Amino acid sequence: EVQLQESGPGLVKPSQSLSLTCSVTGYSITSNYWGWIRKFPGNKMEWMGYISYSGSTSYNPSLKSRISITRDTSKNQFFLQLNSVTTEDTATYYCARSSGYYDASFAYWGQGTLVTVSS
């Protein structure tokens, strides 16, 4: 059974970088698509980007200058880095897996991790 687990600091200072890890068990990240999605206070959801089975990436243009998604296939982990954060980046961050190579629904999600941006 595929399982995803986010980890990383729960508090980040403004202007610094937010770094999160998604650890995957039960399925190889060299298959399918792996994404980051966040939910803001007030319930708005935003797709941030994904990394594919081949390592190619796609990002939300609204974040393109600040975001990077990378992976370590030896550890079966992928990572989110968001630079120059502000209080507007306070959100619960989820990692997720697409349902299939040609199926862009998200069938598998991590439990989510709350990141607060505050000095």
Partner 1 sequence: NIVLTQSPATLSVTPGESVSLSCRASQSISTSIHWYQQKSNESPRLLIKYASQSISGIPSRFSGSGSGTDFTLSINRVESEDFSIYYCQQSYSSLFTFGSGTKLEIK
Contact predicate 20/112, CB 8 Å: no
Q: Whole-number minimum distance, CB 24 to partner 1, in Å?
A: 14
Q: Which residue among 46, 81, 84, 87 contacts partner 1 (CB under 8 A)? A: 46
Q: Whole-number minimum distance, CB 74 to partner 1, in Å?
A: 26
User: CB neighbours (10 Å) of residue 34?
Assistant: 25
Contact predicate 84/11, CB 8 Å: no
Report 60-119 residues binding partner 1 (CB under 8 A). Answer: 60-61, 94, 99, 103-107, 109-112
Q: Which stretch binds partner 1 (CB under 8 A): 17-25, 53-61, 65-73, 74-82?
A: 53-61
47 Cα distance to chain centroid: 9
Number of residues that bind partner 1 (CB under 8 A): 19
Pick between residue 16 and residue 99 the one whose CB is nearest to partner 1: 99
Q: Whole-number minimum distance, CB 30 to partner 1, in Å?
A: 22
- How many angstroms separate the CA atoms of 56 and 21, rounded? 18
Q: Hey, is 102 helix, strand or coil?
A: coil
Paired strand residues for 81: 19, 68
Could you list the residues that contact partner 1 (CB under 8 A)? 43-47, 58, 60-61, 94, 99, 103-107, 109-112
